Structures are given as structure tokens and as C-alpha cells.
Amino acid sequence: MLTVNRIHRGDAIEGLSKLEDESVDLVVTDPPYNIADSNKKTIRNGEVMTTKKAWGSWDSRHPFDHDLLIMKVISECYRVLKPGGALYMFTARQDNGFFVRHALARGFTYRTQLVMIKTPALPSIYKNAWRSAFEVCMFLTKGRLGTFNFLSQQQLVNVFHYTIRHRATSHPTEKPLVFIERLVQVSSNPGDLVLDPFMGSGTTAVACKRFGRRFVGFELNRDYLKMANQRLRQTPDHPESAKEGESEDDGPEGSGST
């Protein structure tokens, strides 16, 4: 078993293979969307640039390799989740149906889609497309519905509005912490183990630290891992948090075990 309360540097599939069957209570993850392209342009921080520059080369794979990666991750998440555990996974809109179907074939039970509406909408550079203003996140469970903390009618609407203002890091695809916190609060309990195989700037880990959940996850990029660890150091411990992990900015991939 890997050390918990730690983001391990390395590949998601390799990391997942080190987790035991039915050892995780919840998965919250935002994998690469595979939408970076050196020909297409977008606007980032008010500047026009290629999507490859805006999001980074990690978001550009051969489509076949991308599909295979996400399908393997879904499959591994099913294996490591406890019965009743939830998977929340963001996907690119065009891929969502494909990955939902794969997840159902793997054994997951469909619950709903969550929609995150972002304002302001991205400007349409070429003026030939609808302006992008929402992202989707699938909500599935391993069989029956396990933990589901119904916070309030207002907080449990499956459409989430979010204004892009301040980001905690310079990670190009940092997710809003309040949204990730909501998922963690609803579908896990204090002390539960939450997995994110694609940690990025560590939003899932920060949400877990703030709400007294344990976390484990992976990130390939050393700079993003440093960002995430710095964010984690600045996040106060929840009184119920277990202090098991240590920062692994430059350490060997997946070192340490419990």
C-alpha cells in the first residue's frame, strides 16, 4: 500500500497498480482532456496563444493512447474502490459518452452528470463556434450508493456556477476548490481515503486536508507536484487529519509505504 496523505510523483497507471483492491472510499479526478493542439488557438490570461502552449504538451496524446489511458484508469478505479464508493471524473465534452459507456461496461452504476458553468465564457477566437462555458463531470458508483451526505437542497444542485477570478496556482487547468470540496464532503466521511490519479496542482488533496479526509494520488510533472506540495503546506490541518504523508517534491516515484 502506498503512503497516504502524499502525492506520489509518477504515472497514474503505475501508481494505481500499487493500490490494493477495495482500499479507496472515493475517487475525484480530472484527467487530461487531450485537447492541446499546436494549430488551434485560445485565449489565456487575455493573451491569444496555441492551445498547446496554453495547456501544455501533457494534454496532447495520440487519440488512441488517450482513450486507452482513461479506460485503464476507469478500470483501475473500479478495482480499488470499495463497494458503494463513488467516482467523479471530469472529461472533455466530446468524450464523455464514450467514457461513461466504458465505465458502465466495467461495472460502474450511473448516477448523474454534474455540470460546471464557468463565467466569463471563453471568447470564440474564430467566431465559428459556440463559446465554451461549461464542463461535465460524471458521477458513478461501484454498485449501490454508499456514502451520500445530503448537505442541503441548495448545495446539491447538479449544476454548479463558478466565476473565474482567482486561482491558487499557475497550473493551467486548476479546478475550483469549492467544487471539489463539495464532492469530497458529499461522497466521503472524515478519515476516508480519497484518490486522485491526476493531481495537477493538488486541488483534491487540499480539499481532503481541509475536510479531514486522507488522500493519495499521482502527478507526472515535477513542477506541478511542487506547486501542489506548496499549496498543501499552506493548508492548515483539519483537527481530525492523520499525519501520515510527507512532501515528495523531488523524491523517487512512489517511495515509501505503509
Chain residues binding ligand SAM by CB under 6 A are 11-12, 30-32, 58, 171, 173-175, 198, 200-201, 203, 218-221, 224
Residue with the closest Cβ to ligand SAM?
A: 200
CA distance 132 to 89: 19
**Residue nearer to ligand SAM on the CB measure, 17 or 240:** 17
CB-based burial of residue 192 (10 Å sphere; 0-12 exposed, 13-18 middle, 19+ buried)? buried
Q: Which residues of 97-108 are buried (b: 16+ CB within 10 A; e: fewer)?
A: eebbebbeebeb
Q: Least CB distance from residue 176 to ligand SAM, whole Å?
A: 8
CA distance 158 to 156: 6
Query: What size, in residues, is the chain?
Result: 258
- Strand pairing of 47-50 and 81-91? unpaired
**Residue nearer to ligand SAM on the CB measure, 85 or 200:** 200
**122 within 8 A of 131, measured Cβ to Cβ:** yes
Q: Least CB distance from residue 150 to ligand SAM, whole Å?
A: 25
Q: Least CB distance from residue 153 to ligand SAM, whole Å?
A: 27
**Residue nearer to ligand SAM on the CB measure, 200 or 245:** 200
CA distance 178 to 157: 14
**Residue nearer to ligand SAM on the CB measure, 72 or 111:** 72
Q: Least CB distance from residue 200 to ligand SAM, whole Å?
A: 2
Q: Least CB distance from residue 187 to ligand SAM, whole Å?
A: 16
- Strand pairing of 41-44 and 47-50? antiparallel
**Residue nearer to ligand SAM on the CB measure, 143 or 167:** 167
